[in-house]
Every structure is written in C-alpha cells, then in structure tokens.
Structure 1
C-alpha cells in the first residue's frame, strides 16, 4: 500500500472521520504502526502534496517503526523531503518564535519542555533513507520539521538542547 491508495480514506478524514475510526480502518489497522506515527504522518498529512511527491512510492506495509534515541548532532544535519527542502532551516532561523507560538491545545507545555529538558514534547517521525531511495543513507525527517528546526536553532544560540531526543524511526521490514 502507498500514500495514493489512501485517497478515499483521506476524503473521509477531511469530512470529519475521527482519529479512532481512522486507526481502525481496514487499510490502516493491518499496518500495525504506532498510533502516534499514524496520526502525525497519515492522518495529519496523508494527502499533503509534498508528502505524496516525496514518499508516494514507498510501500507503507514495508516499514517497521521503533521509538529510538537520536543524537542532537544527527538531527542537526538531517534532511527532509526534497519537496520541502530548506523548511527546517527556516524554522531554525527563529526557534524562539516557533516555540512561543506553540502554547495552546496539543502544544501546551512545548516551551516548558524546551526550557527544562532541552527537547520536544512529542517525538517526530523519521525514515531510514533506504526507504526513500535505494542509494539513501542515514535518516530523513518526515514529520516534525518545526521541532527539528527549533532544535537546530537552539543549538546555534547556545540554548539548552539535550544530547539525545526520542523519535519514531521507520526502517525497512526485514
């Protein structure tokens, strides 16, 4: 299954399909992905044009997810998809702004998390680049570009940034 196969499901989501029903859908449930990954990538961005261009060719059933510690150094060099090239650096240019505007709803506590622990509140979604291109190496940011940009910008400012950060990492299934 690929992102394009979710078109009908994404129409239903835009019409009000809740996350619980999305997770239980016969197209999504068999993937056995963590709910957080499904929400951040497929539910929130499954019909995003940039994501379709960058990840539309990937076999979603061929991804195995794990929550992993990733170093701040790795994240500081990690690319995102070609369609959004440069966006992480845009967020990194003014990390204080991007933290400040995330204070309500699901973003409540983001500023405190950065100030006290030097990390994000919610793990971003990263992919092993071998899933994107056969010649790929390392990891790539799928969702969480603002979070990674804030990390980069805070490192440059000399603000508190933890040495390691939790992230959802998708790798090819064995």
Structure 2
C-alpha cells in the first residue's frame, strides 16, 4: 500500500471534514496496524501533502513496524528529512524561540522544564526509501527537531535523549531494534 492508494480516503477527509476517529477506523487503514499517534501525525495530517507524497510515495506503508525509541539529541541534530523539505530543519533551528512562541503555552513550558517536546516526532528508516540507504530521517516533526537543534546550538536547556516514533522495515534482519506494532 502506497500513499497514492489512500487518495480516495484523503479526499473524503478533506471534503467531509472527517474526524480522526472516523479516519482511523476506515477499512483502508486496517492493514497498517500503526499506532494512533503515528497514523494521525503522518497520514491524517500530511497524507495528501504534495511534497510529502513526492518524497514518500514509493514507501510501502504495510512494511513499516513502529516502536517508540530513545534517540540522542546529537543524532537527531544530524538527521535529514525528505528532499522536498531539505532545508526546513535548519530554518526552524535558526530561531527556536519563535517556533516555540507560536505554539500553545504548554509546549514552551515543557521545553523549559524538560528540554524536549511534548509529542514524539516520527522518524523513518532510510532502508524503506527508494533508493534505500542507511540511517534514519525525520518523517514528521521537522519543526520539533529544528527547535531541538536550535536550542542545542544556543546551549539552551536540552535533554540528552528524546522519545521518537521510529518506523523500521517489518522484515528487518535479526539483531535490529525493530518490533511489530
């Protein structure tokens, strides 16, 4: 199943003002078995975004196994995103205070108190991309990762490790950190 296969569902979501609960329960999504947080951030919010579809249209969505993982701040700050939004993480990192201020107040308080985000961003194994390669990249949450990198560069309070949803191939080689969700 590719993003293009979900175009009719995305159209119904746009046209009918579909709630996330109705979207999540659609029969087209049942084969995915994705956590609600991933489903909402990736498909419900961005599944028909042209840049997103361009960058990730070749990914077989059924082949992704999700797990909440702990990732170091330094690893996150080196992570790329899709080619269509290649410079956006750096753009957000240039002014992290602004991107925090335009969010609800609890977001800023959480950064100040805990040095991390309220909601885990979504990372994807680059083995799932076409062409496949090593490492992870930011699939959704570019602003959050940019804020993290900007705060890190400015030596503001940043936790050393952060939670993120990580999608890896379901058929990962033995010894990998992937689990089925």
Q: What TM-score, normalized to structure 1?
A: 0.96
Structure 1 unmatched runs, 5+: none
**CA displacement at 1:134 relative to structure 2:** 4.4
Match of 2:70 in 1: 69
Q: Which whole-Å CA distance do the structure 2 matches of 1:163 and 1:60 have between them?
A: 31
Is 1:124 aligned to 2:125, yes or no? Answer: no
Match of 1:5 in 2: 5
Structure 2 unmatched runs, 5+: 172-181
3-state secondary structure, aligned to 1:11:
helix
Q: Which whole-Å CA distance do the structure 2 matches of 1:40 and 1:109 have between them?
A: 19
3-state secondary structure, aligned to 2:27:
coil
Q: Which whole-Å CA distance do the structure 2 matches of 1:73 and 1:138 have between them?
A: 14
What is the aligned-residue RMSD (CA, Å)?
0.8
3-state secondary structure, aligned to 1:68:
strand
Aligned pair count?
170
**CA displacement at 1:129 relative to structure 2:** 0.5
Q: How does 1:11-50 map to 2 (within 5 A)?
A: 11-15=11-15, 16-50=17-51
Q: How does 1:75-114 map to 2 (within 5 A)?
A: 75-103=76-104, 108-114=105-111
**CA displacement at 1:132 relative to structure 2:** 1.0
Q: What TM-score, normalized to structure 2?
A: 0.92
Q: Deviation per CA, 1:50-88: give whole Å up to 9, x if none.
A: 111110001000000000001001000000000111000
3-state secondary structure, aligned to 2:120:
coil
Q: Which runs of 4+ in 1 moved over 3 A?
A: none
3-state secondary structure, aligned to 1:137:
coil
| Partner residue of 1:115 out of 112, 115, 127 | 112
